[in-house]
Structure 1
Amino acid sequence: MKKPAVWPIYVVVGTAAAACYANALGGEFVHDDIPAVVLNGDVVAARPILDVFRNDFWGTPMADPHSHKSYRPLTTLSFRLNFCLFGLHSFWFHLTNIILHSITSTLFVRTCLEVARLEAPFATVAGLLFAVHPVHTEAVTGIVGRADVLAGLLFLASLLNYNQSRNTQSIIFGGLSMLAKETGITIFLVNFFFDLYKSYPRLKNDFVDVQWTMETKNFTKRTLINFIAFGVLITFRLYVLQGSLPMFSEQDNPAAFHPCILVRTMTFCYLAAFNWWLLLCPATLSHDWQMGSVPLVTSPEDSRNLLTCLCFVLVLLLFARSLLDFESQESAPIILGLLMLVLPFVPAANLFVTVGFVIAERILYIPSMGSILLIVTGIRHLWHVYHRQRQTIFSCLLLLFMCQSLRCVVRNRDWLSRESLLRAGIATLPHNAKMHYNYGNFLRDSAHYELAMAHYYTALRLWPSYASAHNNLGTLLKDPHEAEMHFKLAIRFSKDHLNAHYNLGKMYRMNNTEESYKMLKKCLSIDATFKPAFIELCRLNTKWNYSGYTGRFLKKIVEINHHDYEYAKVYAQRLQKQGNLKLAFKYFMYAGGFTQTKHDGMIGAMQILRCFDSQGRLFQLITRYQAIHRFSSGLTSIHTNAYLQRWHLNFEVSNQARSYVLGEKQRNLTKLYTYSDI
């Protein structure tokens, strides 16, 4: 009997996914999108493309001790392709995310049909629930969440190919999934355990009969290749860590820094249970769960332990049920659901390495597939057992689909702008100190200084050791003594807080030069390329009349900021005053040779050429200068005057060439071109 066509199911599920997230297309770059996309030189093509494979997800070299160590070059390349094709327009980044989510949703339907062996109606239900699940808003609507969506797509591609015995393709897709996001590596474990489940009856018979059949040989071969690939990829991933793990602070993951192992264990177990609860009931959603959003579980009597026990008992019961059905092979959806729920979540469970978050909704993108498989398996069981209640079951499913879709659409609107996202975060987690801090930053940037200070104070009330909140509050306070106190508190709670040292150094510059110098030098010991500290040191040394130090600091500013032509000009002027004309000419040319709007650099170079009596080069430079500005917009009076003088110069040169060779009249002519004339 011919199987019914499944492409209409793919169309329905893919369309539902796209329609549910369509209102996110007008969103801005928000939250982590700014550092990972907008300010990332690897994305905006400010660096060579090979740097994508040397740097982490945020554009920091993997060898840097401050690197986040998140190696996702495939995702970064997709961002770069977006930028090269359409520029830095958020619409196209959002559209790409939605397309990838639609493709992933259809692949999930195919996985339910071919791997989990669900009937078409239940595979459709699973695909629709996945397509419109509200917990996916951070992964789909948040541009940075593309790492999870892309990893999920490749994860399913690897699983489907492995199920069809295409081992090479499966390994390739699995490796690409890891390069999209680290959790993709778990597909190799999912493939192995599900293959073991499917092959168990034959393996058992061969083991009992002491036989070595073709099925056993093929399973052994698949397993060997699978684990070799897994080992190679794990080794490669450890190699790119460059010998160090990422460094996180207590505010990133408070439980990981608690001295009591019992508290850490109870809290981590509760967080795992809470993540599953978010998949089952995504009513409370937030883009940031750090700094006290989830209080530590410090006592066995804490009522939250009941949720932990309930979730773990339920998982154990499902595993026990699956083990009983190993012979009959009737629990494929349950086995696959448990594997996809548990294994992709393991890297975020703090079991092997400390992670830099408490809860992150986007990491639930792949585990949600397992949760939905388990839910749909339960629905299928109810459908087959309670025939008379099928209408009620269908109505409940329809209501669930509508509620999830509406929740997803509403949540998308929170991600449209930085302000709306922060407001939604505070409304959801008013006791989250970081949320108040980030909203205070937004208000400060919007010139609402009084409101900004109120939120900084709230953040400090919730988290008194919040160094960055102390520092930012200090920058807004009018009382210098109170501001100084908050800068010092920032340094007390974070001894290498760069901005707090700088702000103190700047504050001390007028009346406490010794302390100012100490603070600014500390800035440079923390970050040797911190330009503001060099600028303040220049001002400080000018006040002290230490010209040697000032020149050295100016030179350092120019060296570490290759495109800061203003300071190149200032340094050149200083060299000119000191009589170092050759070096001054070099920096004048550097300051004026790369932009049409900086006149002083080229004018300074002309003055030095006149001092050298280098008339030929001076003429060339004047001609070049006027050629650049001849067709400047508006032709201001200075440009018009310069153009007329250049015409007059060319006229005299063409008629009195012999006089220029003799040199005397040439010197008289160049005197016309003084600083004020040009």
Structure 2
Amino acid sequence: MHVVYELLYCIVLNHALWGLRPWWWHACNVCLHAACCALVARACVTVARLQRPFAALAALLFAVHPVHTEAVAGVVGRADVLACIFFLSSLLVYHRPTSGKKGVWLSVFLGALSMLAKETGITILVLNIAIDFYRCWPFVKRSITAWKIEKKCTGLSVRTFKVLVSLALLVCLRLALLQGTWPSFSPQDNPAAFHPSFFVRLMTFCYLAAFNWWLLLCPWTLSHDWQMGSVPLITSGWDPRNFLTCAAFGALLLLCYRCIADIETHRHTPAVIGVLLLVVPFVPASNLLVTVGFVIAERVLYIPSVGSVIITAYGVQLMWCSKPGTKVFLVVGLAVLGGSGIARTCRRNIEWKDRATLLRSDLVSLPQNAKLHYNFANFLRETEQQDHAIKHYKEALRLWPTYSSAHNNLGTLVSGVENAEHHFLQAIKFNKHHVNAHYNLGKLYKKSGRTNKAIKMLEKCVMLRPQFVQAHVELLTMIPELEKRKVLSKLVQLEPNNWEYYVLYGNWLREKGIIRIALKYYLEAMRLTFKTRNIESLIRGDLISYRSAALMLRRQGQKSRTLQLLTRWHTWRRGWPSTAAAHMYLRDWRLKIELEGRVQIYSKAVNPIKSTKCFDHTQLVIEVGSVNQGNQIRQEPPLFENSKDNTFKKSVKENLSSGKTNSAACNIKTCKIKKRGPSLTSQIKTIHNKSEIGHKGKRCSMHRKEKNSQGNNMIPKFKAPLSEHILIKTF
């Protein structure tokens, strides 16, 4: 959750200014760390009451501390740095000399911001009350002994009430953001928290607190991940690590005794402030009050390290003032301490250069960490080093046999169906809610032909995670046709911006004959692809969706709707922002659609021969010259200019009187005339009639033979009914 809150402060601004360039992100983290160092120096002077040179020393030690590398070098660690900034700002506002009512509420507001950046930031409210109580203790004691409440005590009670009420409200707000429950963790995250024995948990947690303090004093062994076997559990009271725990808590008790003894005289204020800053911010991460999802995390030591450096600087101040002869040794020791901190920090930053370097260096420090082996194996698998990846997966399983994720990933690499199935089943055995193991096992069953088992595993995967899109896609290829509609609807619902699922749904609806809804999904797919047309893609989704819709409409014989769809596709493809331009384009295509019927009529007038046989003139005269209306024959005006051929007319009348209108078909050889129809890409072009430009009309070869045989019996010329003809130019 703290990553979400971090976006509210700095990440959005960082991304808006410089995008995703890593250099600026690291530079921003370094600037925030420098601001923390300045606030540490200010807090050491005003709150801890250190002398200015030693306050600067504390800030310098804080700046070069190697344990801060994870918080500063990693972008995720910015939450801890921001929490520290608001933490120290709240501390300075609350304890400034001129602080009044507004100062208290401003301090609470800054504490709330610190909590939103990191949960441990809420401890600043408790710390402010503790320091305020420490400073006002003489007045509190005098009021108790004299049975008279002084003005200082009244102000302390009012401030305490305000802070405690604010603390309760902030805790309720934090729980509300978590929906009323604490975060849940697994044994892999924090093995000690799930041990059944109370004494084992207590000894282990106490040792972990002492070990964290040791990291502040001697940050030599560092790692970005301390889970899964990095720190073995303390199961016996004779474990040697218990002596380190006793030594650490003994030193802490001595410091606490010094603080209690100084509560009236205020002679060692820096020591008191340092102990409070060391202990109070670390308590939520110690596992003593609530269970956290880590064993050791270096980034959570960012705020407690302020108390550690204050105690160190105050010790140097005491020795510098009380024993002047030791100044040379102090200078040399501080130079060695600062130089070693700088060297270790530089080396640690080099290790944080990239993922591979970090994992290799941490494996050298913690070879018994199963999670480091698992993460390194994942890196090797991504870089196509399969053999080395299998080796580290097996090492992770040797260190942690119940590591379900390692079983699952190893199953994807091993050869043989039986070996892969064994590892997938082991992953499901140790973690019944492992979604990826169910999915991979379902794909394995599908590949080996066990369809029923594959469907069962994929349905289990969908039940565990309804938003798992890939499982729905795999199910779509195996379930019956009647059940596919439900899966397709779920895919469209899960990813409404994925055009491929709309095309799949449209194809299914087209096969079922639901044309109208199928066209709707095709059009939506086209709209989505044009919405993301600026993104480079190897697949033209708009062309695929348009082709599917056009083929469907063409099979239905809806040519006008096909042209309309083509118009819409052209309009979307060109991406015209102007409505007028799109309107003109649509009107142009609408005009072509309206002229389609007329074009066909005019093309018949130019080329009336639609069959592969020629008809004689008798058929032509019968077809257009007269109309048989019942028993009467109505003569139409002749189509010929020259009607001197009486023998021809006589033969026509005989044919009409005998009723043999269909027997006049001539036995003429077939003419090889190719029929040419209009296409969608045709253009309209007007040309003059061939009779007007001196060209003779085409006649079949049989007519030419009759002409030669008859001599002067010429066939009359046709009278042109039109001056111009509209032809279709085909490409």
Q: Please give the TM-score of this superposition, normalised by the length of structure 1.
A: 0.82
Structure 1 residues 399 and 651: alpha-carbon distance in aligned structure 2, compared to 1, 3 A threshold: same
Q: What one-letter code is carried by the residue in structure 2 that aligns with 1:558?
A: V
Structure 1 residues 81 and 615: alpha-carbon distance in aligned structure 2, compared to 1, 3 A threshold: farther
Paired with 1:657 and 1:508, the residues of 2 have a C-alpha distance of 54
**Contact persistence 1:659–1:665 (CA under 8 A):** no
1:156 aligns with 2:88: yes
**Contact persistence 1:135–1:362 (CA under 8 A):** yes
Q: 1:539 aligns with which of 468, 477, 482?
A: 477
Alignment partner, residue 107 of structure 1? 39
Between stretches 123-132 and 419-428, larger displacement belongs to 419-428
1:340 aligns with 2:260: no
Q: 2:203 aligns with which of 241, 266, 276?
A: 266
Alignment partner, residue 179 of structure 2? 242
Q: Which structure has the highest helix share of the two? A: 1
Q: CA deviation at 1:227?
A: 1.2
Paired with 1:439 and 1:580, the residues of 2 have a C-alpha distance of 52
Alignment partner, residue 426 of structure 2? 489
Alignment partner, residue 449 of structure 1? 386
Alignment partner, residue 497 of structure 2? 563
**Contact persistence 1:117–1:333 (CA under 8 A):** yes
Structure 1 residue runs of 5 or longer lacking an equivalent are 1-55, 59-71, 633-646
Paired with 2:527 and 2:574, the residues of 1 have a C-alpha distance of 16
Q: What one-letter code is carried by the residue in structure 1 that aligns with 2:570?
A: Q
Q: What one-letter code is carried by the residue in structure 2 that aligns with 1:625?
A: W
For 1:503-582, what aligned pairs fall within 5 Å after superposition?
A: 503-509=440-446, 510-541=448-479, 546-582=480-516
**Percent identical residues:** 44
Q: 2:544 aligns with which of 571, 593, 600?
A: 600
**Contact persistence 1:470–1:487 (CA under 8 A):** yes
Q: What one-letter code is carried by the residue in structure 2 that aligns with 1:262?
A: F
Paired with 1:150 and 1:648, the residues of 2 have a C-alpha distance of 57
Count of aligned pairs: 587
Structure 1 residues 387 and 561: alpha-carbon distance in aligned structure 2, compared to 1, 3 A threshold: same
Q: 1:86 aligns with which of 2, 9, 18?
A: 18
Q: CA deviation at 1:488?
A: 0.5
Q: CA deviation at 1:219?
A: 1.5
Q: 2:27 aligns with which of 86, 92, 95?
A: 95
For 1:608-627, what aligned pairs fall within 5 Å after superposition?
A: 608-610=552-554, 618-627=562-571
Alignment partner, residue 595 of structure 2? 659
The superposition leaves residues 496-521 of structure 1 with CA deviations (integer Å, 9 ceiling, x where unpaired) of: 11111111111111322221111111
Paired with 1:208 and 1:609, the residues of 2 have a C-alpha distance of 97
The superposition leaves residues 599-625 of structure 1 with CA deviations (integer Å, 9 ceiling, x where unpaired) of: 111222334455666666644532342
**Contact persistence 1:269–1:308 (CA under 8 A):** yes
Paired with 1:459 and 1:486, the residues of 2 have a C-alpha distance of 14
Structure 2 residue runs of 5 or longer lacking an equivalent are 534-539, 577-583, 603-676, 683-729
Q: CA deviation at 1:206?
A: 2.2
Paired with 2:481 and 2:594, the residues of 1 have a C-alpha distance of 46
Paired with 1:74 and 1:57, the residues of 2 have a C-alpha distance of 6
Q: 1:439 aligns with which of 353, 370, 376?
A: 376
**Contact persistence 1:75–1:179 (CA under 8 A):** no
Q: CA deviation at 1:74?
A: 4.2
The superposition leaves residues 5-51 of structure 1 with CA deviations (integer Å, 9 ceiling, x where unpaired) of: xxxxxxxxxxxxxxxxxxxxxxxxxxxxxxxxxxxxxxxxxxxxxxx
The superposition leaves residues 444-489 of structure 1 with CA deviations (integer Å, 9 ceiling, x where unpaired) of: 0111100100000000000000000000000001111111111100
1:389 aligns with 2:326: yes
1:119 aligns with 2:57: no
**Contact persistence 2:2–2:119 (CA under 8 A):** no
Structure 1 residues 356 and 669: alpha-carbon distance in aligned structure 2, compared to 1, 3 A threshold: farther
Alignment partner, residue 33 of structure 1? none
What is the SS of the residue equivalent to 1:451?
helix
Alignment partner, residue 184 of structure 1? 121
For 1:28-107, what aligned pairs fall within 5 Å after superposition?
A: 56-57=1-2, 73-107=5-39
**Contact persistence 1:593–1:601 (CA under 8 A):** no
Alignment partner, residue 286 of structure 2? 349
Relative contact order, higher structure (CA 8 A, sep 6+):
1
**Contact persistence 1:75–1:146 (CA under 8 A):** no
Paired with 1:95 and 1:571, the residues of 2 have a C-alpha distance of 49
Between stretches 274-283 and 531-540, larger displacement belongs to 531-540
Paired with 2:241 and 2:590, the residues of 1 have a C-alpha distance of 91
Q: CA deviation at 1:223?
A: 1.4
**Contact persistence 1:75–1:180 (CA under 8 A):** no
Alignment partner, residue 155 of structure 2? 218
**Contact persistence 1:75–1:147 (CA under 8 A):** no
Paired with 2:585 and 2:249, the residues of 1 have a C-alpha distance of 90
Q: CA deviation at 1:86?
A: 2.2
The superposition leaves residues 189-225 of structure 1 with CA deviations (integer Å, 9 ceiling, x where unpaired) of: 1101111111111221222122222212111211111
Paired with 1:631 and 1:197, the residues of 2 have a C-alpha distance of 71
Paired with 2:567 and 2:517, the residues of 1 have a C-alpha distance of 23
Alignment partner, residue 205 of structure 1? 142
**Contact persistence 1:109–1:124 (CA under 8 A):** yes
What is the SS of the residue equivalent to 1:594?
helix
What is the SS of the residue equivalent to 2:412?
helix
**Contact persistence 1:57–1:76 (CA under 8 A):** no
Structure 1 residues 653 and 669: alpha-carbon distance in aligned structure 2, compared to 1, 3 A threshold: farther
Q: CA deviation at 1:349?
A: 1.2
1:500 aligns with 2:437: yes
**Contact persistence 2:227–2:294 (CA under 8 A):** yes
Paired with 1:76 and 1:308, the residues of 2 have a C-alpha distance of 40
**Contact persistence 1:505–1:519 (CA under 8 A):** yes
Structure 1 residues 665 and 382: alpha-carbon distance in aligned structure 2, compared to 1, 3 A threshold: farther
For 1:8-27, what aligned pairs fall within 5 Å after superposition?
A: none
Structure 1 residues 357 and 653: alpha-carbon distance in aligned structure 2, compared to 1, 3 A threshold: closer
Q: CA deviation at 1:535?
A: 1.6
The superposition leaves residues 118-161 of structure 1 with CA deviations (integer Å, 9 ceiling, x where unpaired) of: 10110010000001110001111111111111000100000001
Structure 1 residues 209 and 98: alpha-carbon distance in aligned structure 2, compared to 1, 3 A threshold: same
Q: 1:365 aligns with which of 302, 308, 333?
A: 302
For 1:375-414, what aligned pairs fall within 5 Å after superposition?
A: 375-414=312-351
**Contact persistence 2:502–2:521 (CA under 8 A):** yes
Q: What one-letter code is carried by the residue in structure 2 that aligns with 1:386?
A: K
The superposition leaves residues 607-654 of structure 1 with CA deviations (integer Å, 9 ceiling, x where unpaired) of: 44556666666445323423555699xxxxxxxxxxxxxx99998866
Alignment partner, residue 133 of structure 1? 65
Q: 1:281 aligns with which of 218, 223, 231?
A: 218
Structure 1 residues 74 and 142: alpha-carbon distance in aligned structure 2, compared to 1, 3 A threshold: closer
Between stretches 272-281 and 369-378, larger displacement belongs to 369-378
Q: CA deviation at 1:522?
A: 0.6
| Greater C-alpha Rg | 2
Q: 1:328 aligns with which of 265, 268, 271?
A: 265
Q: Please give the TM-score of this superposition, normalised by the length of structure 2.
A: 0.77
Q: CA deviation at 1:306?
A: 0.8
Paired with 1:322 and 1:423, the residues of 2 have a C-alpha distance of 44
Structure 1 residues 651 and 121: alpha-carbon distance in aligned structure 2, compared to 1, 3 A threshold: closer
Q: What one-letter code is carried by the residue in structure 2 that aligns with 1:626?
A: H
Q: CA deviation at 1:571?
A: 2.2
**Contact persistence 2:567–2:589 (CA under 8 A):** no
Paired with 2:597 and 2:109, the residues of 1 have a C-alpha distance of 72
Q: CA deviation at 1:92?
A: 2.3
Paired with 1:501 and 1:476, the residues of 2 have a C-alpha distance of 16
